[in-house]
Structure 1
Amino acid sequence: MRSTPRLTSKVSIDMDRRTFIKGTGIAGITGLAGCTGGPSEGGDGGSESTTTESSGSEETTSESTETSTSSDVNVGMVYALGGLGDKSFNDAAQRGVVQAEEEFGISYNEAQPSSAEEFPQFQRQFAQSGNYDLVCCIGFAQQSALNNTAPNFPDQDFMLVDAVVETDNVANYLFREEEGSFQVGHLAGLLTTQDFSAGEGSTNPDEMTVGFVGGVDVPLIRKFQAGYEAGIAEANSDIEVLTAYTGSFSDPTAAKEAALSMYDQGADIIYHASGASGVGVFQAAQEQGRYAIGVDSDQSQTEPSYQDVILASMVKRVDTAVYESVENVVNGEYEGGSTVTLGLEQEGVACVYGQSLGSEISSDVKSSLDASAEAIISGDIDVPTSVE
């Protein structure tokens, strides 16, 4: 047990691919999710802040398989703003803890803050109870609160996604979002220069224009934009990229308005990194007969109503980060003070083709994406992490 908080130097870990892949489990190789969260039971996705005992949502409980082991580990989940039901970032995190519940017999409670001011409240609430072996803090916006909370509860283990708190009771997980975004940008760049028609959409190669819709304008989301733009340039440096930020991860109306404006200006493919706002981009794509690219989860699965316009998704395996962190606690192998970084090489991010439209994308385009992925992994392509 720790008697005093101790600052440690950050340990950077590129998780071994075999270790990482075993965590995909229930989510599968393509089933992952999004960007916003506070405490509520299971996964009914409300934004209202409540605290309830839970071992999973009704849906996941009814589909649970027999656990391979039985553990008395108890986990607290503090989600990002936007909450469950975003079919992206938070839902991916929940899939990870549900997988751990099914495989290890752990129990968990959930918190869905309705504002950033509630992050420290829920972090402390879990820590003060003394009942939790691990508190999972989902999203970069929790970094500031956890910088204060973690040192005040040195005997409480935490994990943090998308940011780093350098104390020995926080295990940090980062992703190379720019690498996966490069891949979907490369796809968009190749298709916008071609006469492509499938599902409910089509491209206009005479325009050679694509778009990007972000949520909150912060450095993390700029990584998505930077990688996307670099991938587009890999295909053709003459392609115009339109960009907009909605200022929220839970405002589909704003995202739809931004996307409609881009489609009106000639864009035929738009990539969003805006959490639950992104459904607005999909709606606009259907209305305009154009295409969209999802984020965090395979959104052609999580948003099946829009399969006919979702070319691909940049999946970010937040579920595996949560699962692995819980597994480490179950096995007595928790690594506080470490930072695990997951990119293309570790299959922490990937371009996953849409369930309906993926088969319509040519083998030449797919081969080009395979080649650029290998070049990124080998270091022949250096993907930027910020926008110029």
Structure 2
Amino acid sequence: MQDSSTPNHGDIQRSSARLNRRSFLGTGAAVVGAGALAGCLGDDEAGDRNDFAIVSSPAGFDDNAFNDNALEGLEEAAEEFDREVNAVEETEEAEYQSVQAELAEQQRYSVIVLVGFNHFDALETNAVEYEDQNWMLINDHVEGQDNVSGWIEMNNEMSFLAGVAAGTLTTADISHAGSSTDPSGTTVGFVGGEDIDLINAFEQSYIEGVEWVNDDVEVLTGYGGSFSDTSAARDVAESQIDDGADIVWHAASAAGRGVFAAAQNEDRFALGVDVDQSVTAEQYADVILGSAVKALNEATYQVGAAAAQDDWGSVSGEQNLSIEQGGIDFITGQQFEGALPAALDDSLEEAKQAFIDGEIELTCGPTGC
């Protein structure tokens, strides 16, 4: 629920309503590694709060997905408003409270962006301790803290669209670069990273999307146990393909590259997540039929712009990215544009309109079940 401070989402709709490929390109920005962290925290004298900082989720940057998409939008705002970005890669959740605090103590940043719900517990403390510091939290929000812009991404809606795509395409006859579907079969797969409530919601919503299209399709599910272990994700995907899945979707961040490798190795197909992974993981573009995407880059751009323009009230409090706002969509992979059946677009448009009309109720929310 949004209060009277909810912004006009024109900035998001400006480019993400069409959710074209350019909006979801991965960033090439330099990232501050964990080994360099000590050099970036505490050496600078306190100054004007002009620059931006961003701290990764445990998956880290260069994930070709969630973290890179968030960084891209902040980099865009930094370029437009002549700011610097300190991108801190911290993969150990136990370090989040101290990393957040040390960044805030520099009094250098007009906003500190925290990628992922994993930052929530630490921010609950630090948002109060550093009330003069503005924060952006992705995938959660902190009640009663005006200095926090908490963005809830409708991951359940995004996952549902991935399921709609998989359920539609598994019965189609698709062949490309040696890979093919099995139109006589009705099995698709899902590979999660860590087996946690957030990713369980991805799984369940994906299943519901598949069943919305065709309740005869079986969904095989499994978890690699990590957001970075590509080998584990590949093993799970290969097992599902061996059991009949011809399309596998993942919610495993950087580990999802293992799913794409399995699809290539087994001559089947996969779906990407968060961004157009046929672009950000281009070496696998020949097996990525499409990607379920969210305009997180537009959200970080909007927050960066608000901080730079001293307009924090426009983004303060709980915000969200949804289908209705144009912030969630499914886009075709770059090697499959114009080559997939018209039934895909028909199913996706019907599903998106059903969400807008309030006709679809999902079992799980955007952050858990």
Same fold (TM over 0.5): yes
Within a 5 Å distance, the mapping from 1:130-169 to structure 2 comes to 130-166=107-143, 167-169=145-147
Task: Report which stretch shifted further, 343-352 or 256-265.
Answer: 343-352
Local SS of the residue matching 2:331: strand
Q: Which residue of 1 aligns with 2:58?
A: 81
Deviation for aligned residue 1:147: 0.7
Residues 204-236 of structure 1 deviation map (CA, whole Å, 9 limit, x = unaligned)? 133311011111222222222122111100111
Q: Would you say 1:278 and 2:265 are equivalent positions?
A: no
- Equivalent residue of 2:338, what SS? helix
Separation in structure 2 between the aligned mates of residue 51 and residue 92 of structure 1, nearest angstrom = 25
Contact kept? 2:32, 2:88, Cα under 8 Å? no
**CA positional deviation for 1:333:** 1.4
Deviation at 1:303, TM superposition (A): 0.8
Tell which deviates more after alignment, 112-121 or 265-274: 112-121
The CA distance in 2 between the partners of 1:19 and 1:44, in whole Å, is: 26
Contact 1:97–1:322 at 8 Å: present in 2 too?
A: yes
Match of 1:188 among 148, 163, 166: 166
Separation of aligned partners in 1, 2:231 and 2:116: 23
**Is it true that 1:50 corresponds to 2:37 in the alignment?**
yes
Residue pair 2:189, 2:219 contacting (<8 A) in 1 also: yes
The answer (yes or no) to whether the contact 2:114–2:138 under 8 Å persists in 1 is yes
Rounded to whole Å, the distance in 1 between the matches of 2:146 and 2:81 is 25
Q: Which runs of 5+ in 2 are unaligned?
A: 42-47
Corresponding position of 1:22? 14
Aligned equivalents of 2:282, 2:32: Cα separation in 1 = 18
Per-residue displacement from partner, 1:144-196 (whole Å, max 9, x unpaired)?
11011111111111110001112121110111111122112111111112332
Cα 1:323/1:125, change in 2 over 3 Å: same
CA distance in 1, matches of 2:312, 2:116: 20
Distance between the aligned counterparts of 1:231 and 1:333, measured in 2?
Answer: 38
1:252 aligned partner = 230
User: What residue number does 1:107 align with?
Assistant: 84
| RMSD value, Cα | 2.6
Alpha-carbon displacement from aligned partner over 1:336-363 (angstroms, at most 9, x marks no partner): 7511111111122110110002321112
Instruction: State the SS of the aligned residue for 1:160.
Output: strand
The one-letter code of the counterpart of 2:52 is V
Distance 1:161 1:376, change over 3 A: same
Match runs of 1:278-297 below 5 Å: 278-297=256-275
Q: Which amino acid aligns with 1:277?
A: A
Equivalent residues in 2 for 1:331-350, closer than 5 Å: 331-335=309-313, 337-350=316-329
Task: Indicate which of 171, 175, 188 corresponds to 1:210.
Answer: 188
1:322 pairs with 289, 300, 304, which one?
A: 300
Matched, 1:227 2:214: no
Whether the aligned pair in 2 keeps the contact of 1:188 and 1:269 (CA below 8 Å) is yes
Q: For residues 13 and 288 of structure 1, what CA distance do their matches in structure 2 show?
A: 50
Deviations 1:257-302 (A, max 9, x none): 0000000000000000100000000000001110100111100000
Aligned pair in 2 of structure 1 residues 286, 217: CA closer, same or farther (>3 Å)? same
2:367 maps to 1:383: no
In structure 1, the gaps of 5 or more residues are: 1-8, 35-40, 55-70
Secondary structure at the aligned position of 1:213 is classed as strand
CA distance in 2, matches of 1:268, 1:345: 31
Give secondary structure in 1 for the equivalent of 2:30: coil
- 2:24 is aligned with 1:32: yes
Which stretch of structure 1 is more off in the superposition, 285-294 or 166-175? 166-175
Where in structure 1 do 4 or more consecutive aligned residues deviate above 4 Å?
12-17, 27-30, 44-49, 51-54
Q: Structure 1 residues 51, 326: CA separation in 2 closer, same or farther (over 3 Å shift)?
A: farther
The 2-side partners of 1:225 and 1:12 are apart by 33
CA displacement at 1:48 relative to structure 2: 4.2
Question: Which amino acid letter does the alignment assign opposite residue 311 of structure 1?
Answer: L
Q: Which amino acid aligns with 1:73?
A: N
1:159 alignment partner AA: M
**Number of residues paired by the alignment?**
357
Query: Do structure 1's residue 374 and structure 2's residue 353 form an aligned pair?
Result: yes
Mark the CA change 1:313 to 1:74 in structure 2 (over 3 Å): closer, same or farther: same
Q: Give the Cα–Cα distance (whole angstroms) in 2 for the partners of residues 49 and 234 of structure 1.
A: 48
Secondary structure (helix, strand or coil) at the match of 1:358 reads coil
The amino acid of 2:253's aligned partner reads G
Shift of residue 105, structure 1, vs aligned partner: 0.9
Q: For the residues of structure 1 that align with 2:35 and 2:241, how far apart are their CA atoms?
A: 34
Q: What is the SS of the residue equivalent to 2:76?
A: helix
